[in-house]
A = this chain, B = another copy of it.
Amino acid sequence: MPIKTYRQAINEAMAQEMRRDSSVIVIGEDVAGGAGCDGERDAYGGVMGVTKGLFPEFGESRVIDTPITESAIMGAAAGAAQTGLRPIAELMFMDFLGVCFDQIYNQAAKFRYMFGGKAQCPMVVRTMAGAGLRGGAQHSQNLTQMVTMVPGLKVVCPTNAYDAKGLLITAIRDNDCVIFVEDKFLYETSCDVPDEMYAISFGEANFLREGTDVTIVGISNTVNKALAVADRLAAEGISCDVIDPRTTSPLDEESIIESVEVTGRLVIVDEMTPRCGIAADISSIIAEKAFGALRAPITKVTAAHSPIPFAPALEDAWMPQESDIEAAVRAVLGYVR
């Protein structure tokens, strides 16, 4: 099978869906680049190059460069989705939710319900999240919790190239507003990705590693860190179940519960600030629905309760690291009531 990067997989999913369905469009800032300029068009293909090549193939009526105007981008996508198009709207950095969130949580997410099932809003918001690139407080946030909490939205956070392609295809075909959160740390990572189109269902967790001692759930890139830790601990005879929910909304509660019923111990890792995050959310579900199986405190490994600092040493301390995950696993294993 051909090896592709996360970036390529996402690009391919869009290109293939755009070929299949002429109502799919891409809209955002510099999704092509060069609009109105004397030089080349498609000069960016998205600030990270993820939409590169779509403009030459699909032209300016389907790959639409906009001004810097996130509310209008999201609103235009939502309005277009109500009226026959299937827009993929790019929110360059997830940090920018604050300048357009109304159009997402009060508009796109609510149309169907507010209008009694008579409207639908088949749009995808592709956005980029995650720390570690020294982007500072306003270019590094993962705000997956902020969209997961919104009824009406679906939220996808692919952790490898294979999933990215299959989940994005599902997202584009879905008739609801889907927030597709790309972890910017993963663009260069690669794995086997089929050339054909394939769809991965929402709400189905991926069991990355089977184990019996501790369940580790990771979100976005943290699941890869969790996997590395589990691999290392395996050498010591510690057996971890590593679960990637792949979508936080819908969330595959059952798979996590099933696992915890075996292991009795749960560590949840995300790269968000700790209050009201995904780790907290999953913890509360398990504390309610699988309490009887628990043999140790549910332990969250999250980022710190602070804005994201610029200095590498501080940012590294802010982010959950493999050593933090390892410590949490050892702690729950060592727990005695």
Contacts and interface: CB of A to CB of B under 8 A. Distances in A.
Contact of A137 (B110, B276, B307): B110
A95 B146 CA distance: 14
A97 interface: yes
A299 to B, nearest CB: 6
Interface in A73-116: 95-106, 109-110, 113-114
Nearest to A295: B291
Contacts of A146: 146, 149, 276
A106 B110 contact: no
A17 B37 CA distance: 55
A193 B134 CA distance: 50
A165 interface: no
B276 A113 contact: no
Contacts of A201: none
B298 A287 contact: yes
Interface in A101-141: 101-106, 109-110, 113-114, 136-138
A337 interface: yes
A277 interface: yes
B275 A298 contact: no
Contact of A281 (B275, B292, B307): B275
A152 interface: yes
A34 interface: no
B106 A101 contact: no
B300 A288 contact: yes
Contacts of A113: 137, 306-307, 309
Count copies of this chain in the complex: 2
A20 interface: no
B151 A305 contact: yes
14 contacts: A113-B137, A148-B276, A151-B273, A251-B275, A276-B276, A279-B284, A280-B283, A281-B284, A284-B287, A287-B287, A287-B294, A288-B297, A288-B298, A291-B296
A113 B308 CA distance: 9
Given A98-B100, A149-B276, 12 more contacts: A98-B104, A106-B138, A109-B307, A149-B272, A150-B273, A151-B273, A283-B283, A283-B288, A287-B287, A287-B298, A288-B300, A292-B297
Contacts of A321: none
A263 interface: no
